[in-house]
């Protein structure tokens, strides 16, 4: 697993950092993994304790460099995560989906996992693992690829009263972005 040097960490205005980025070639395609570090503000924890879900979005884009024009976007993948406290069971529920989990569709097709503590649930959110970027034939066999990774707390999926109340509050701004050239590592 390749770790970025300490000087290469990407840090957002919110204190969130990307501590690791990795591009891996497997038999069935190319996968991206990342690790994000952040502290959940106490205001956001209070909202969670009241049973209101919060949403995180992780997005990765892979580009092919071109000397004669702007870089071409080869692949893009997004992962939406919904974290909610279940007061009756006193457990934390994490839903993970490729599409936003709002509107008439409800949670749609998503993977669910329950956790005993908020810390365990946040640890799962902070590890963005194996986002499938596509087939090797689509991506190309360049030794290095430029990848842009974004991670943020998505306030647009909060209930409407909270969307109005969070405007301009720094506690609700958890966002980080990093662009780096990553080697395409073979799966071990």
**Residue 106 pLDDT class (50, 70, 90 cuts):** low
Q: What pLDDT sits at residue 166?
A: 59
Q: What pLDDT sits at residue 105?
A: 56
pTM over 0.85: no
**Residue where the block lists tokens 């949670």:** 107
Percent of the chain residues topping a pLDDT of 90: 45
Q: What pLDDT sits at residue 55?
A: 92
Q: What pLDDT sits at residue 180?
A: 93
Write down the domain spans for the chain: 6-64+71-134+160-178
**Residue 50 pLDDT class (50, 70, 90 cuts):** confident
pLDDT, tens digit (0-9, with 9 covering 90-100), for 16-47:
899 999 999 888 889 999 999 999 988 889 88
Buried b (16+ CB within 10 A) or exposed e, 40-68: bbeebeebbeeeebbbbbbbbbbbeeeee
pLDDT at position 8 over 50:
no
Q: What pLDDT sits at residue 162?
A: 66
């Amino acid at each position: 697993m390749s770790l970025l040097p300490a000087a290469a960490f990407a840090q957002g205005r919110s204190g969130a950092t990307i501590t690791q980025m990795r591009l891996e070639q497997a038999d069935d395609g190319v996968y991206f993994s990342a690790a994000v570090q952040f502290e959940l503000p106490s205001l956001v924890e209070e909202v969670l304790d009241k049973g209101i879900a919060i949403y995180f979005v992780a997005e990765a884009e892979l580009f092919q460099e071109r000397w004669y024009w702007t870089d071409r976007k080869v692949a893009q993948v997004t992962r939406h995560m919904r974290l909610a406290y279940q007061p009756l069971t006193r457990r934390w529920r994490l839903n993970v989906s490729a599409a936003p989990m709002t509107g008439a569709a409800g949670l749609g097709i998503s993977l669910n996992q329950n956790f005993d503590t908020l810390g365990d649930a946040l640890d799962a959110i902070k590890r963005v693992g194996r986002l499938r970027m596509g087939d090797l034939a689509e991506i190309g066999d360049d030794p290095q690829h430029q990848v842009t990774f974004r991670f943020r707390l998505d306030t647009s999926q909060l209930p409407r009263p909270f969307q109005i109340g969070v405007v301009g509050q720094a506690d609700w701004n958890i966002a980080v972005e990093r662009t780096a050239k990553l080697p395409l590592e073979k799966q071990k």
